[in-house]
Chains A and B, each alone.
Chain A
Amino acid sequence: MATLADGLHLSVLAAAAEPAAIAPAIGLYHYLFVSAALFALGVIGFLTRRNLIIMFLCTEMMFQAAGIALIAFSRFHLNHTGEVFVIFVLTIAAAEAALALALVVLLFRRKETLDASEWAALRG
């Protein structure tokens, strides 16, 4: 666990400061960096956009970020647990996408808009 944390911790610094010194080839840290970047983009997109479809795509992006991290670790540890896990996640994500898009369509039919801020009926 400590290794993992160290790796995560270092990846951010090391990838920026001295990539060649630690890992001349593309290694775990690169993947993790991509994953983190993708996740951050997803979060930012989710927070800044009001369009329901875009927000949904952003969540998908965060999903895939997690998927990349899992695959990277799976490869790093030389087992298939993460890969199998990602297969499952993808399957569920596909089902969930169908469901979520259907929901978006229904919501759109109700109010003729995709603006998420229109749906605030449950405020306290």
Chain B
Amino acid sequence: MTGLMGGWATLAAAGGGAAAHAAPGIPAPGAGSPIALLLLGLPLLAAALCGVFAATGNRSKLPAFTSVAALGACFGIALMLFLNWNGQPATARAFDWISLDWGAGKGQSFDAHFGVYIDGLTLLWMLFVTGLATVIALYSMEYMSHDVGLGYCRYFAAFNLFVFSMTALVMGDNLLMLFLGWEGVGLCSYLLIGYYYKRAAAVAAAKKAFIMNRIGDLGLLMGILSTFVVFGTIEYAPLFQMIASGKTASGAELASHWSVWGIPLMFAVGAFGKSAQFIFYTWLPDAMEGPTPVSALIHAATMVTAGVFLIGRLYPLFTADPALIALSVVAWAGVITALWAATIEMAIFDIKRVMGYSTISQLGFMFAGMGLLTPTGAAFHTFTHAFFKATLFLGVGAVMHGFGGQLDLRRLSGVMWMRGFGLVGIAMLVGSINLSGVPFTAGFFSKDVILAQAFTTPGTMIWGAQAAAWLLLLTAGMTAYYTFRTFLRVYVGPREFVPGDDAELLDLGRHPKGVSLDEWHAQHGHGHGHGHGHDDHGHGSDHRAAVRPDFDPTTEEFDPHPPGWSMKAAIGLCMVLSILAAGVYFMKPAVGNHGGWVAGMVGQSSAAFASPGEHHGGAAEHAAKLGTFLGYDPHKVMYYVSAGVGLIGILIAAFLHGPRGVWSLFIGNRTSAAVAPRADALANLFGPLTRAARNKYYVDEIYDALVRTPLRVLAHIFHILDQGLVDGLVNLCGALPRMLARSLRPSQSGVLQGYAVGMAAGLGLILIVVWVLMLR
């Protein structure tokens, strides 16, 4: 084994040209700490325990405590692994999962270990996945408390199972484990989107997410199978060696083999599905039907970044192609997604959907980063986005929780000034400046890395890189606009609100199945102020509201109830983390000399890649070989450009949507929640375009017409064929004997003499026959 390693090392050192753009090869993995396997075991154990709690009819918050403890322990283990990490990839194996061989020859065996592969990318992902999972489990403890009982157990079981699946996806040391995790997170996403299974919209959204993901997963599965066929292995370490050697398993030259662009494209389709990129993205906005903590963790911070992770993990394969076809596709999918989602966000009013589309848009940035040859930028943006988008989601969740599910930004205003919502407002401001890319925030630095590299990467490497970069810059401005549109309308300005529908029904749609309203109140009415205003009114009044169908939340008293300690703690933690995330940019990277801590982590992983123009070579070199930003070195000017674009976006938002006063720098003129005269005038000016964007460009309707309608028509035709042909034949088999019987039946007349005549005639016939025979 060591001899082979040595041979490979010299080969990699000698022939940089074999794999056209590949960075220096990835070292062979050493032996990792088996403690890493606990990261898989603990969440699974916690999920099983939640199942036990459900079976024993536990009605306390025990599942939440268990989950927070298990996930917190996972975070501790991840942190310990990181601190004890020597910068080299390592593997730790639990057991041989699948081991088959059907011959002694090459490619006639299949091995998949149940084990982990630890490198920079893995640790980076595990740190924020387990960290955020802990914080969001803490938040869920309170957020889901209206469902204490079976629903609570179900929620936390799926939550823990999700973390297990995500860990398998990120840490697995082969593509089959990645696939296991990939499908696992898809399943948990389905279970959690459809958590409110009595709500038809939630069930439909869950199915939509599952089915859209299956389409992408086909690409992933084809990629894995093709990888096995072409490279004869699905384990990362030997796979990376083989790619570095520039040969396929059969000895063909990789650079000219179809698989060098074919396999990455298949994987890219898988990534597009899971990460809600263009043409597959429609499931993610609908996934906002799930509980908000789920949206924060799964549909913003972690699961949807699995596609980014997949591309980063297989970056040697993506960059082995001399023409970089797959990466061009990835880049353009990302750019189109980012821009497309941003235009929708600028028009819609549902603040949770705004966050959903914003996630799609930011995922587009990450994909563009991967495609435009800066895996560091993509990973860095994934990392920072995880924190600030979780903050934003948790803030939106607190508003939703406090105002009876109200999400329309025209019905809420000045939330930050209401009692108990100050922290939420501050957290939203922190999240918003991060998302907008205000200077010196984490989001600013990570987006900047992507934008600078986008302008630097020459069009000769990635098709249309310059155009992509300009579109990304435009999207960055739009991002700032829509982010502050939400913030300035909902969180500042005159205090005003209309409670949502849940206030009217007192969460009837959500209170657990099989529990009467009284029971529900009994367990719910004291404690942390949860019952949408009933703390102040007492049980009598909220019951009245529940049983009176004419309860009008707009005219009757409704007190928004502020988040309790665990929600506040989680929001505060996420907020602090998203501020601190900026700090990692200033940490000295372990590899290379800029890009911060994340660059070092990515540099010590399979995604290590020397981006073109990374070593600032001066304007002359940029002009000669690389792209420029209007003649300047993008790496030097992009700080100022992206800051300027972000601020312009914020100013436009303030001008159009800002309330009067200091919050919009005295240029806003919004007078109430619903009235923003300039914005309304502008929306009218773009009439049809606004309407189209508000209706999500009718993409769902187009898919309906293109996919569902033909299927329905086909189903109808088959239905008719089934009824006519198949059922016809079957019915004929029954009808023939029946017709025969009908024609013979009258012979059974029921008249006694009739039968007697028959018998007599028979006897007569016999006599005649006998007679005739006699005569012969």
Contact = CB atoms under 8 A, between A and B. Distances in A.
A81 to B, nearest CB: 23
B641 to A, nearest CB: 96
A43 B749 CA distance: 19
A5 B744 CA distance: 36
Given A5-B770, A5-B774, A124-B745, A46 B750 contact: no
Interface in B738-776: 744-753, 756-757, 760, 770-771, 774
Contacts of B753: 46-48, 50, 116-117
Contacts of B752: 55, 116-117, 119-120
Interface string A90-124: 00000000000000000000000000110111111
A121 B749 CA distance: 9
Contact of A46 (B746, B751, B756, B774): B756
Nearest to B741: A124
Interface in A43-76: 43, 46-48, 50, 55
A47 B756 contact: yes
A59 to B, nearest CB: 10
Nearest to A49: B753
Interface residues of B, number: 16
A122 B756 contact: no
A80 interface: no
Contacts of A122: 748, 750
Contacts of A43: 756, 760
B774 A120 contact: no
Contact of B751 (A5, A9, A55, A120): A120
**Interface residue tally on A, bucketed by range:** 10 to 19
A120 B753 CA distance: 11
Contact of B750 (A5, A47, A48, A121): A121
Contacts of A117: 751-753
A43 B760 CA distance: 7
B744 to A, nearest CB: 8
A117 B745 CA distance: 18
Contacts of A50: 753
B745 to A, nearest CB: 3
A89 B745 CA distance: 35
B606 to A, nearest CB: 83
Given A5-B774, A9-B774, A124 B760 contact: no
A53 B252 CA distance: 104
Interface in B225-280: none
A122 to B, nearest CB: 5
B756 A124 contact: no
A69 to B, nearest CB: 14
Given A5-B770, A5-B774, A9-B774, A120 B749 contact: yes
A63 B760 CA distance: 15
Interface string B33-64: 00000000000000000000000000000000
Nearest to A6: B774
Shortest 4 CB-CB distances between A and B: which pairs?
A123-B750, A124-B745, A120-B750, A124-B748
